[in-house]
Chains A and B, each alone.
Chain A
């Protein structure tokens, strides 16, 4: 079956760094997406990885290891506005996204 696993909740301190992990099992693989979702709002795109390695985009970076079925999202210099849920989604061979349940990130001052 197809499955995405990510932690339910994480807590971090303002100004710190946090890493949100995601493991996936899909029928075929066409890339790994990360989305941010603030409470009561729509998911918004953060990153897409299809090749192994680290992609950096400002304070956010995303890593992919295809052989391990593993990705992480790294958030640096945390700000209070980063409090949100972070959704990991893997694209299968039919180009359909398989979504994790999301990691709720709580930022404390």
Chain B
């Protein structure tokens, strides 16, 4: 059982390019999340999904979009990358959107030049 996988592991991207970060979980968790982690700041929620077919905006959603076509996959898309989106991106999942523990993927390190 892999848990949560993310791809790519790292990426260098030119500003203005479109990029999709992939996230897949095999735990049949209903809820999934995308966070970004920047030095000196706590994890910040970008978007979340409480169940397949629904999504919601987190604290910092601008410039990002998500979809949840099925239970397992939760891709994050940057439509036109900007340097301020340079960060480490973590995908997480939990059994439900309540107080269940969130489990994290290994992260994607994204650099936008």
Q: Is the CB of B103 within 8 A of A45?
A: yes
Q: Which chain A residues border B98 with CB–CB below 8 Å?
A: 30, 95
Q: Is the CB of B42 within 8 A of A87?
A: yes
Which bucket holds chain A's interface residue count? Answer: 20 to 34
Measured in the bound complex, the distance between the Cα atoms of B92 and A44 in whole Å is 11
Whether B42 contacts A30 by the Cβ 8 Å rule is no
Would B42 and A41 count as touching, CB distance under 8 A? no
Q: Which of B71-113 touch A at CB < 8 Å? A: 90, 97-99, 101-107
- Min CB–CB distance A40 → chain B (angstroms): 8
Residues of B within 8 A of A43 (CB): 43, 90, 104
Nearest Cβ on chain B to A50's Cβ, whole angstroms: 7
Report A-chain residues with C-beta under 8 Å of the C-beta of B107.
Answer: 41-42
Check if A99 is an interface residue, CB within 8 A of chain B: yes
Residue A69 is within 8 A (CB to CB) of chain B in the complex: no
Give the interface of B toward A (CB within 8 A): 40-45, 48, 58, 90, 97-99, 101-107
Interface, chain A (partner B; CB < 8 A): 4, 30-31, 33, 41-45, 48, 50, 87, 89, 91, 95-102
